[in-house]
Structure 1
Amino acid sequence: MTVRTTRQGAVRGRPLPHGVTAFLGLPYAAPPFGALRFRAPAPPASWTGVRDATAFGPAAPHAPYAPPFDALVPDSAATGEHCLNLNVWTPAPERGAGLPVMVWLHGGAFTNGAGSLPAYDGAAFARDGVVCVTLNYRLGADGFLRLPGHPDNRGLLDQIAALRWVRDNIAGFGGDPDRVTVFGESAGAMSIGVLLTEPAARGLFRRAILQSGACHHTQRPASAGLIAARLARKLGITPDPAAFAAVPLDELLPAQAELRGEVNARPDPALWGEAALDMMPFEPVRPAPALPGPELGVDLLIGSNREEYRLFLVPTGRLDVLPGTTLTALTRAYGLDPDTALPVYEAGRPGASPGVLLDAVATDWFYRIPAVRLAEAVPGSHLYEFAWRSPRFGGTLGACHALDLPFVFDRLQDPAYAPLLGDRPPQELADAMHGAWVRFAATGDPGWAAYTPERRTTMEFGADGAVQVEDPRARERALWEGVR
């Protein structure tokens, strides 16, 4: 059955193999431009007749990734003003009704990406009995710039609006609105880290999967004010909503993309606040990072990749030329004593270069330790680490940031992932990882023991398949107690 009914009207989808139907480009909110620019998302318009839903809608306007990342990370979606749309892949009615639902929040440092990218095709989840939803949300200045008199975190408000659409409509696609798992990677996972403690999101999802992101990456209002002022100076305007709205997108988007390079070139907290360390000028704005408590009531699956930071060191050539002085300075900036911490990291990597050691330290600061802290905060959470190493760049790319995505979506043959994956990635590892995500969405149990401070059980997805380990790299983890 390719026609379904939503609260806005009927939609016609596209039949796919394995009894799956895709419904693409469904509006969950009105276009956020014109009088709605920089406002909270407004309800979408209704329609009469049957709306065609066989092609993706536009993504939120954004500039492309800078080289060399433009050739490595998928981000090819067309953009436009009607960007607040989502996509549904469903196996119903062949697989029945009341199916588990998974809602994907894409990554991209809050400035890039789209739920409509083919790399996030949800057909494999639907094939395996899950109703999969992917969505777009506002990015960059439109989604996260702090503006007086306007709501903060408009991109997060978009995500909440999409989750409400799922609550109100997903039963019509065979899904159970009480069995929703929200999952995301990088900025998508960091978004979930905020949604876990956001009152407006309470009750909209039962489970959450956070890949390479947790609760630590937010900006305080003062830092967000610094970012807004700097962007305004670049554009030659005053930092107020009307002035930003008057800037053509072909001027605004390149300017906001340049901010990240400026932060990287001069990472001074006096100029950028928290962004001086995490290099993301656009992030959710909060008074302080907040971990949920043990009474959260949401099942959590949390993890990171073993060598996340190599995505930012290897393609740029920095891994092999990074000076020891930079390693020392950044280790100190992350809150560790280099004289104490670096010997511990080197003990596990004898003879490692400063670039290799920086990858280990930065990966822990950005990704692994925030995941551990969230697992510690919510009893019953499950923790994983993705450790399969890519053969690309002579094997130095390692288990880098974003490398887990084709395994989770079971899309190892997608050409968009080839620049990261290389030849012959192991299908059996994709079967294990994708299968664990499906099991978790269906039952809350991905297939291994929950994390506890006593045992610190972690599922390692690596060259040997899926292996349960206890407290990996314990000495390195212990360095961050009371620091991160």
Structure 2
Amino acid sequence: MDRQTRLDRRGLLLAGGALALTPGAGLAAGAQRSPVVTTTNGRVRGARADGVHVFKGLRYGADTGGARRFMPPVKPQPWTDVQEALAYGAASPQSGRGEDGETLSEDCLFLNVWTPATADRKHGLADGGQRPVMVYIHGGAYNTGSGGSPLYDGTALARRGDVVVVTVNHRLNAFGYLYLARLFDDPGVADSGNVGQLDLVLALQWVRDNIAAFGGDPGRVMLFGQSGGGAKVATLMAMPAAGGLFHRAATMSGQQVTAAGPFNATHRAQAFLDKLGIKDLAALRALPAEAFLAGLKAIDPVAGSGGVYMGPVLDERSLSRHPFFPDAAPQSLNVPMMCGNTHDETRGFVGFDRKMLDLTWDEVISRLPGQFNARIDIDPATVVAAYRRLYPHYSPSDVYFAASTAGRSWKAAIIQAEERARAGAPAYVYQVDWRSPRDGGVWGAPHTIDIALVFGTLTAKGSLADASPESVAMSNQMSDAFIAFARTGNPNGPTVPTWEPYTLPRRQTMVFNTPSALADDPRGAERELFNKVPFTQFGT
């Protein structure tokens, strides 16, 4: 099936309903049907396997295409028949292919539920278990991805922790974050810069209203997300519409200190329109999804290079302050937070190209500015000299990855943690030092390594772990910490050392490794080096 067919195909999608499949379709070998669950939108039925009931492709919002492009999401029309929830729903249109076999469509407001609830004829899955609910928001910046990745399969996590796991699809890239309010005097685009975030708010409202029917506790909802998913979580922490819809938050290698300002977002929207050669809003709404995506290839007018950035906007409607500037958003100070990163984030950004392991000192100096990309405006030769003093045993490539990690993404994680500490609502901070077994460990602890460790999807496609006893032990530690945090707002438990919140000036950080240990201000000298210059959130 070609990409355009996948983008336009709607045959599997009922208007206003969940995924409709023929009886028995989509059941994996050995799986059994789950009981029928009644949601606020209608009745649904999933499948049970490995002790967990799985409901895929549950519709939480109406089709966002056609006349509703750029508009806030709305609830779907209710349905009357029992809908089979056996296959993932469509993902937002995006550059690239998406997951294998995945449908791409503007009709993409679907979520997935894994629950270990005990079924009976009288109550279905509403067994009164009041289990913590772990809602995962996928990464891919604000541009790509879906909740249907094998890495995010919630079976192992739900079973290990007796928790309910939810993953979510929502509008991405220009479908979710194209800010048109200053270009068109039309109320239908007033919220266009943040509709992707508003989709997530609607999904959380669905969880609040329905998760008890799946054995979950709507008063103990934890949001967690990696990379772009973590940034979305941080942004939701500053959105009044999301207030009260979640009760713990965890960002994994993904931060959002500031949102895009309205003028930069307008410049980007204009560049997007110019790339398409469109000036009329009606024509923009009518453009097929594939053609619409071509606007993302515009040169970003703010960064001066690369494709045009799309992300949340300070639009003074759904977002009226930055998430962590000038301080941590007050509305979420009562929400316990975890904030994590990996020791070698940028080793995961080079496509595991072994040539990057043999850089020269001159190449490091010439390449570092591209990694900093205006986040940190500092002389790269000064940075390299400092790292050579700090770590005389580091190779040029070691310095490159360490410095680019510290300047590119770690700095924002520090800001989040420090602002929480200053407000008296500290976060539990972690750093993954455990080295991926890939290629004998040469990639260290790269970006995304913590996903499979938390979900327990160690052998899934995209995992940087494996089925070895070392991987299993590391996964058990991280899974248990996240489960404990979802349950109580505190990640402490028997499989990790005592974990103290992050306070100043100690900066307590759980360093996940074998063994794990709590450390004060790990990599403190690197932190101080980059404190010489201000940090700018990319895209803002």
TM, length-normalised to structure 2: 0.79
Shift of residue 96, structure 1, vs aligned partner: 4.4
Shift of residue 161, structure 1, vs aligned partner: 0.5
Shift of residue 355, structure 1, vs aligned partner: 4.7
Distance verdict in 2 for CA 1:7–1:423, change over 3 Å: closer
Distance verdict in 2 for CA 1:76–1:280, change over 3 Å: farther
Shift of residue 82, structure 1, vs aligned partner: 2.6
Letter in 2 for 1:253: L
Shift of residue 100, structure 1, vs aligned partner: 0.6
* Equivalent in the alignment of 2:46: 13
Residue correspondence of structure 1 range 166-205 to structure 2 within 5 A: 166-205=207-246
Contact 1:122 1:132 in 2 (8 A): yes
Residue correspondence of structure 1 range 22-61 to structure 2 within 5 A: 22-61=54-93
Equivalent position SS for 1:309: helix
Shift of residue 340, structure 1, vs aligned partner: 4.7
* Equivalent in the alignment of 2:23: none
Matched positions, count: 460
Distance, in Å, in 1 between the alignment partners of 2:451 and 2:101 is 16
Alignment partner of 1:413 is 2:444: no
Alignment partner of 1:350 is 2:382: no
Contact 1:147 1:241 in 2 (8 A): no
| Residue number among 122, 125, 131 corresponding to 1:99 in the alignment | 131
Distance verdict in 2 for CA 1:280–1:132, change over 3 Å: farther
Alignment partner of 1:361 is 2:412: no
Distance verdict in 2 for CA 1:15–1:428, change over 3 Å: same
* Equivalent in the alignment of 2:286: 246
Distance, in Å, in 2 between the alignment partners of 1:326 and 1:305 is 21
Contact 2:388 2:394 in 1 (8 A): yes
Shift of residue 102, structure 1, vs aligned partner: 0.8
Equivalent position SS for 2:75: coil
Contact 1:105 1:184 in 2 (8 A): yes
Contact 2:67 2:285 in 1 (8 A): no
Distance, in Å, in 2 between the alignment partners of 1:217 and 1:348 is 31
Alignment partner of 1:121 is 2:142: no
The unaligned stretches of length 5 or more in structure 1 are 264-270
Distance verdict in 2 for CA 1:423–1:330, change over 3 Å: same
Alignment partner of 1:284 is 2:312: yes
Cα deviation 1:216-235 (Å, max 9, x = unaligned): 25322222222222222222
Distance, in Å, in 2 between the alignment partners of 1:370 and 1:76 is 35
Distance, in Å, in 2 between the alignment partners of 1:332 and 1:40 is 32
Percentage identity across paired residues of the two chains: 38
Alignment partner of 1:154 is 2:182: no
| Residue number among 507, 522, 525 corresponding to 1:472 in the alignment | 522
Distance, in Å, in 2 between the alignment partners of 1:208 and 1:43 is 25
Distance, in Å, in 1 between the alignment partners of 2:445 and 2:104 is 31
Shift of residue 480, structure 1, vs aligned partner: 3.3
Distance, in Å, in 1 between the alignment partners of 2:389 and 2:101 is 42
Cα deviation 1:324-346 (Å, max 9, x = unaligned): 23436766941335465433323
Contact 1:324 1:354 in 2 (8 A): no
* Equivalent in the alignment of 1:266: none
| Residue number among 482, 485, 507 corresponding to 1:437 in the alignment | 482
Cα deviation 1:50-108 (Å, max 9, x = unaligned): 1111221111111217xxxx9xxx67633223310101111113674211111110000
Equivalent position SS for 2:238: coil
Distance, in Å, in 1 between the alignment partners of 2:101 and 2:313 is 28
Shift of residue 37, structure 1, vs aligned partner: 0.9
Shift of residue 188, structure 1, vs aligned partner: 0.8
Cα deviation 1:92-146 (Å, max 9, x = unaligned): 1367421111111000011111012222111122212111111101011101111
Distance, in Å, in 2 between the alignment partners of 1:400 and 1:44 is 40
Shift of residue 272, structure 1, vs aligned partner: 2.2
Contact 1:182 1:208 in 2 (8 A): yes
Distance, in Å, in 1 between the alignment partners of 2:322 and 2:411 is 14
Contact 1:197 1:290 in 2 (8 A): yes
| Residue number among 270, 278, 285 corresponding to 1:229 in the alignment | 270
Shift of residue 10, structure 1, vs aligned partner: 1.1
Equivalent position SS for 1:404: helix
| Residue number among 51, 75, 80 corresponding to 2:105 in the alignment | 80
Distance, in Å, in 2 between the alignment partners of 1:311 and 1:135 is 24
Letter in 2 for 1:146: Y
Alignment partner of 1:302 is 2:344: no
Letter in 2 for 1:91: P
Distance verdict in 2 for CA 1:466–1:237, change over 3 Å: same
The unaligned stretches of length 5 or more in structure 2 are 1-33, 120-126, 316-320, 493-498, 536-540
Distance verdict in 2 for CA 1:249–1:353, change over 3 Å: farther
Letter in 2 for 1:402: T
TM, length-normalised to structure 1: 0.88
Distance, in Å, in 2 between the alignment partners of 1:196 and 1:461 is 26
Residue correspondence of structure 1 range 321-332 to structure 2 within 5 A: 321=359, 322-327=363-368
* Equivalent in the alignment of 1:388: 434
Contact 2:268 2:308 in 1 (8 A): no
Shift of residue 401, structure 1, vs aligned partner: 1.1
Distance, in Å, in 1 between the alignment partners of 2:356 and 2:293 is 27
Letter in 2 for 1:37: R
* Equivalent in the alignment of 2:205: 164
Contact 1:209 1:301 in 2 (8 A): yes
Distance, in Å, in 2 between the alignment partners of 1:311 and 1:76 is 25
Shift of residue 398, structure 1, vs aligned partner: 2.3
Q: Root-mean-square deviation (CA), in Å?
A: 2.6
Shift of residue 164, structure 1, vs aligned partner: 0.6
Alignment partner of 1:456 is 2:507: yes
Distance, in Å, in 2 between the alignment partners of 1:328 and 1:118 is 34
Contact 1:336 1:479 in 2 (8 A): no
Letter in 1 for 2:408: F
Letter in 2 for 1:307: D
Whose radius of gyration is greater, 1 or 2?
A: 2
Alignment partner of 1:143 is 2:183: no
Shift of residue 280, structure 1, vs aligned partner: 7.0
Shift of residue 183, structure 1, vs aligned partner: 0.6
Equivalent position SS for 2:158: helix
Distance verdict in 2 for CA 1:439–1:135, change over 3 Å: same
Contact 2:273 2:295 in 1 (8 A): no
| Residue number among 247, 251, 261 corresponding to 1:206 in the alignment | 247
Distance verdict in 2 for CA 1:75–1:228, change over 3 Å: farther
Letter in 2 for 1:461: F
